[in-house]
């Protein structure tokens, strides 16, 4: 069955750029109707959608983060990645990758999640 | 942006109780509404999609209803393992999605 695994540094300095990768196993990353997404959760708070990417490379971003975020996909290596620049302490969070499954009826829901990567922004 | 508002923010109930959590969208989203359960230190888990469809493997005591702007997640008979935070999420504007702020459910 499909599994997702986040990989990246646990500690990043303020003003630097965060790079996270989500590895996809047990299934295809090139499905035509699924999106691959990044979601984060700051300590003690709710879930915030960061952005999503289609296997073709079309990416969509949260307007509040768009100026700092780039999501890319490498179908040959079966992974997708997040880059977030100009980090501050407010970016300290658990970062999740997830599959946003699509159906022929046009429904979308996040049915597979990674375990999450804890990222702390501190000098 | 479509805003999602959940109520209550937290609640406490006893084992066996019927529990209801509501979610309201800032505009009509038809049935493009999903519910997730999150336990401490774990990733969210999909419970309900398309407002009322039970995800495979989820106990039948969970159910969802609603359409348009008002939605409900119901646990028919609360179990100890249901202690968690529950989130609604709209997929009407997918892939640009938004979550509710969460409802923390405690067991008395």
B53-90 per-position pLDDT tens digit = 999 999 999 999 999 999 999 999 999 999 999 999 99
Predicted confidence (pLDDT) per residue in B29-60, tens digit: 999 999 999 999 999 999 999 999 999 999 99
- Flag if A110 and B1 touch (Cβ within 8 Å): no
- Cβ-Cβ pairs closer than 8 A, A with B, add up to 65
Dihedral angle of Cα A71, B87, B56, A110, to the nearest 10 degrees: -10
pLDDT score for A64: 94
Spatial distance between the Cα atoms of A101 and B37, rounded to a whole number of angstroms: 17
CB atoms within 10 A of CB A17: 13
- Find, in chain A, the residue whose alpha carbon is nearest to that of B88: A47
- Find, in chain B, the residue whose alpha carbon is nearest to that of A5: B43
pLDDT score for A45: 86
Mean pLDDT, to the nearest integer, of B4-13? 98
pLDDT score for A9: 92
Strands B10-13 and B103-107: parallel
Q: Are B2 and B68 in contact (CB under 8 A)?
A: no
Residues of chain B positioned with their CB less than 8 A from the CB of A66: none
pLDDT score for A106: 87
pLDDT score for A2: 94
Mean pLDDT, to the nearest integer, of A18-32? 93
Spatial distance between the Cα atoms of A119 and A12, rounded to a whole number of angstroms: 7
Spatial distance between the Cα atoms of B88 and B25, rounded to a whole number of angstroms: 10
Write down the mean pLDDT value for chain B. 97
For chain B positions 60-89, those within 8 Å of chain A (CB to CB) are 87, 89
Predicted confidence (pLDDT) per residue in A32-81, tens digit: 789 999 999 998 888 999 999 999 999 999 999 999 999 999 999 999 99
Residues of chain B positioned with their CB less than 8 A from the CB of A114: 43
pLDDT score for B76: 98
Distance from CA of A4 to the nearest CA of B (A): 11
Spatial distance between the Cα atoms of A54 and A37, rounded to a whole number of angstroms: 9
């Amino acid at each position: 069955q499909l599994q997702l695994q986040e990989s990246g540094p646990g500690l990043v300095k303020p003003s630097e750029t965060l790079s996270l990768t989500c590895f996809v196993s047990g299934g295809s990353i090139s499905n035509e109707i699924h999106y691959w997404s990044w979601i984060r959760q700051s300590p003690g708070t709710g879930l915030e959608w960061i952005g999503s990417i289609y296997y073709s490379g079309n990416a969509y971003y949260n307007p509040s983060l768009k100026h700092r975020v780039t999501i890319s996909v490498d179908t040959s290596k079966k992974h997708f990645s997040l880059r977030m620049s100009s980090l501050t302490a407010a970016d300290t969070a658990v970062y999740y990758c997830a599959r946003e499954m699509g159906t022929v009826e046009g429904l979308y829901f996040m049915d597979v999640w990674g375990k999450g990567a804890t990222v702390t922004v501190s000098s | 942006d479509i805003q999602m508002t959940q109520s209550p923010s937290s609640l406490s109930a006893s084992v066996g109780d019927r529990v209801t959590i509501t979610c309201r969208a800032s505009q009509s989203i038809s049935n493009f509404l999903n519910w997730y359960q999150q336990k401490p230190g774990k990733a969210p888990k999909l419970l309900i999609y398309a407002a009322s469809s039970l995800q495979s493997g989820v106990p039948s005591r969970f159910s969802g209803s609603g359409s348009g702007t008002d939605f409900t997640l119901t646990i028919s008979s609360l179990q100890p393992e249901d202690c968690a935070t529950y989130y609604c999420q709209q997929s009407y504007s997918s892939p640009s999605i938004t979550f509710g702020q969460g409802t923390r459910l405690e067991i008395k």
